Amino acid sequence: MKRDTSITVVPGGGVCSARGFRAGATAAGIKYEGRDDLALLVSDVRCVAAGVFTRNVVKSAAVQVSHSHLMNGTAQAVIANSGCANACTGAQGIADAEAMCSLAGKPLGLTTDDVLVASTGVVGTFIPMERVEAAIHSLRLSRDGGDKFASAIMTTDTVRKEAAVTAKVGDRSFTIGAAAKGSGMIHPNMGTLLVFITTDAAVESAYLCDCLRRVVDRTLNMVSIDGDTSPSDTTVILANGASGLDVFTAQNGALFEHALDEVCREIAISIASDGEGAGKLIEIRVTGARSLTDARVVARTISTSPLVKTAVHGADPNWGRVACAVGRSDAAVEPDRMTILMNDVQVMLDGVPVCFDEDLLRASLEESPTLIEVDLGIGGYEATAWGCDLTKDYVTINASYTT
Amino acid sequence: MKRDTSITVVPGGGVCSARGFRAGATAAGIKYEGRDDLALLVSDVRCVAAGVFTRNVVKSAAVQVSHSHLMNGTAQAVIANSGCANACTGAQGIADAEAMCSLAGKPLGLTTDDVLVASTGVVGTFIPMERVEAAIHSLRLSRDGGDKFASAIMTTDTVRKEAAVTAKVGDRSFTIGAAAKGSGMIHPNMGTLLVFITTDAAVESAYLCDCLRRVVDRTLNMVSIDGDTSPSDTTVILANGASGLDVFTAQNGALFEHALDEVCREIAISIASDGEGAGKLIEIRVTGARSLTDARVVARTISTSPLVKTAVHGADPNWGRVACAVGRSDAAVEPDRMTILMNDVQVMLDGVPVCFDEDLLRASLEESPTLIEVDLGIGGYEATAWGCDLTKDYVTINASYTT
Give the ipTM of the model, two decimals please.
0.78
Range in A218-232, A249-263, A274-288, B174-188 the model is least confident about: A218-232
How far is the CA of B397 from the CAs of A256, A277, B179, B307, B320, in angstroms?
Answer: 47, 17, 23, 19, 29
- Span B219-248, mean pLDDT? 80
Q: Which residues of A are known catalytic residues?
A: 192
Report the half-sphere exposure of B260 (CA within 13 A, side-chain side).
33
Residue % of chain B over a pLDDT of 90: 55
Query: Closest to A58 (Cβ–Cβ): which among B313, B324, B402?
Result: B324
Collect all residues of chain B within an 8 Å Cβ-Cβ radius of residue A339: none
Answer whether A310 sits within 8 Å of B399, measured CB to CB: yes
How high is the pLDDT of residue B271?
85
Closest residue on chain A to B325 (Cα): A228
Best CA proximity match to B227, nearest among B255, B195, B185: B185
Interface test with chain A among B374, B395, B396, by most A beta carbons within 10 Å: B395
pLDDT tens readout for residues B312-330: 999 999 898 899 889 888 8
Best CA proximity match to B276, nearest among B119, B151, B387, B124: B387
How far is the CA of A353 from the CAs of A148, A197, A348, A373, in angstroms?
Answer: 51, 45, 5, 15
Best CA proximity match to A72, nearest among A48, A89, A92, A90: A48
Range in A326-335, A373-382, B300-309, B391-400 the model is least confident about: B391-400
Q: Omega into B107 within 30° of 0, i.e. cis?
A: no
Q: Which residue has the higher pLDDT, B121 or B63?
A: B63
How far is the CA of B374 from the CAs of A86, A139, A357, in angstroms?
Answer: 21, 42, 50
CATH code for the domain defined by A5-273: 3.60.70.12
Whether A190 shows a pLDDT value over 80: the answer reads: no
Give the confidence band of A169 by pLDDT, cuts at 50, 70, 90: confident
Distance from CA of B377 to the nearest CA of A (A): 15
Query: Closest to B307 (Cβ–Cβ): which among A316, A327, A398?
Result: A398
Q: Could you please report the per-residue DSSP string of A362-391?
A: HHHHTSS-EEEEEE-SS-SEEEEEEEE---
Whether A214 shows a pLDDT value over 70: the answer reads: yes
- Span B380-394, mean pLDDT? 91
Q: With 0-12 CB in 10 A as exposed, 13-18 as middle and 19+ as buried, what is B35?
A: middle
Residues in contact with A162: Cβ distance below 8 Å, sequence separation at least 6, in sequence order: A12, A13, A14, A15, A146, A147, A150, A177, A178, A179, A180
How high is the pLDDT of residue B191?
39
pLDDT tens readout for residues A281-314: 999 999 999 999 999 999 999 998 888 999 999 9
Query: Closest to B124 (Cβ–Cβ): which among A184, A323, A391?
Result: A323
Return the exposure string of A375-393: e unless at least 16 CB atoms fall within 10 Å of the residue's CB, then b: bbbbbebbbbbbbbbbbbe
List helix spans (H) across B42-198: 61-69, 90-105, 129-136, 146-152
Whether B239 shows a pLDDT value over 70: the answer reads: yes
Helices (H) and strands (E) in chain A, counts: 11, 15
Best CA proximity match to A190, nearest among A27, A102, A63: A63
Answer whether A56 sits within 8 Å of B353, measured CB to CB: no
Q: Which residue has the higher pLDDT, B342 or B6?
A: B342
Answer whether B88 sits within 8 Å of A396, measured CB to CB: no
Closest residue on chain A to B391 (Cα): A395
How high is the pLDDT of residue B401?
60
- Span B70-79, mean pLDDT? 94
Domain boundaries, given as residue ranges, for chain A: 5-273, 281-398
List helix spans (H) across B285-387: 292-304, 306-313, 320-327, 358-365
pLDDT tens readout for residues B154-176: 887 888 989 999 988 888 889 99
Query: Closest to A326 (Cβ–Cβ): which among B58, B187, B227?
Result: B58
Cβ-contact A298, A376 below 8 angstroms: yes
Range in A188-197, A238-247, B278-287, B293-302 the model is least confident about: A188-197
Give the confidence band of B187 by pLDDT, cuts at 50, 70, 90: low
- The CATH class given to the A281-398 domain equals alpha beta
How high is the pLDDT of residue A308?
92
How high is the pLDDT of residue B128?
96
Residues in contact with A250: Cβ distance below 8 Å, sequence separation at least 6, in sequence order: none
Return the exposure string of B176-196: e unless at least 16 CB atoms fall within 10 Å of the residue's CB, then b: bbbbbbbbbbbbbebbbbbbb
Q: Which residue has the higher pLDDT, B108 or B196?
A: B108
How high is the pLDDT of residue B296?
92
Interface test with chain A among B398, B400, B401, B403, by most A beta carbons within 10 Å: B398
How high is the pLDDT of residue A106?
96
Q: Which residues of B are known catalytic residues?
A: 192
Summarize chain B as % helix, strand, coil (round to 5): 35, 30, 40
Left (φ > 0), alpha (ψ -120 to 50) or beta: where does B327 sit? Answer: alpha
Give the confidence band of A121 by pLDDT, cuts at 50, 70, 90: confident
SS3 call for A220: helix
How high is the pLDDT of residue B190?
38
Whether B189 shows a pLDDT value over 60: the answer reads: no
pLDDT tens readout for residues B342-366: 999 999 999 889 999 999 999 999 9
Pairwise CA distance, residues B391 & B280, whole Å: 10
Whether B383 shows a pLDDT value over 70: the answer reads: yes
Whether A1 shows a pLDDT value over 50: the answer reads: no
Biggest alpha carbon–alpha carbon distance for chain A: 69
Collect all residues of chain A within an 8 Å Cβ-Cβ radius of residue B355: none
Closest residue on chain A to B85 (Cα): A320
Best CA proximity match to A385, nearest among A276, A298, A270: A298
Q: Report the mean per-residue pLDDT for chain A.
A: 89
Answer whether A328 sits within 8 Å of B228, measured CB to CB: yes
Q: Which amino acid is at B294?
A: D
- Span A206-211, mean pLDDT? 87
Give the CA angle between residues A357, A358, A361 to the nearest 5°: 90
Pairwise CA distance, residues A372 & A364, whole Å: 12
Architecture of domain B5-271: 4-Layer Sandwich (3.60)
Residue % of chain A over a pLDDT of 90: 55
Collect all residues of chain B within an 8 Å Cβ-Cβ radius of residue A126: 353
Whether B227 shows a pLDDT value over 80: the answer reads: no
Q: Omega into B369 within 30° of 0, i.e. cis?
A: yes
Cβ-contact A217, A174 below 8 angstroms: no
How high is the pLDDT of residue B52?
86
Interface test with chain B among A328, A348, A376, by most B beta carbons within 10 Å: A328
Between A and B, how many residue pairs show a Cβ–Cβ distance under 8 A?
A: 222
Pairwise CA distance, residues A186 & A220, whole Å: 10
How far is the CA of B244 from the CAs of A37, B19, B113, B325, in angstroms?
Answer: 73, 10, 25, 49
Answer whether A352 sits within 8 Å of B326, measured CB to CB: no
B76: phi then psi, degrees, rounded to nearest 5: -130, -15
Whether B224 shows a pLDDT value over 80: the answer reads: no
Is the model's pTM score more than 0.90? no
Collect all residues of chain B within an 8 Å Cβ-Cβ radius of residue A397: 310
Q: Report the mean per-residue pLDDT for chain B.
A: 89
Answer whether B403 sits within 8 Å of A229, measured CB to CB: no
How high is the pLDDT of residue B249?
66
Residue % of chain B over a pLDDT of 70: 94
Calculated CA dihedral for residues A137, A138, A139, A141, nearest 10 degrees: 110
How far is the CA of B140 from the CAs of A189, A380, B25, B44, B107, in angstroms?
Answer: 55, 54, 7, 14, 11
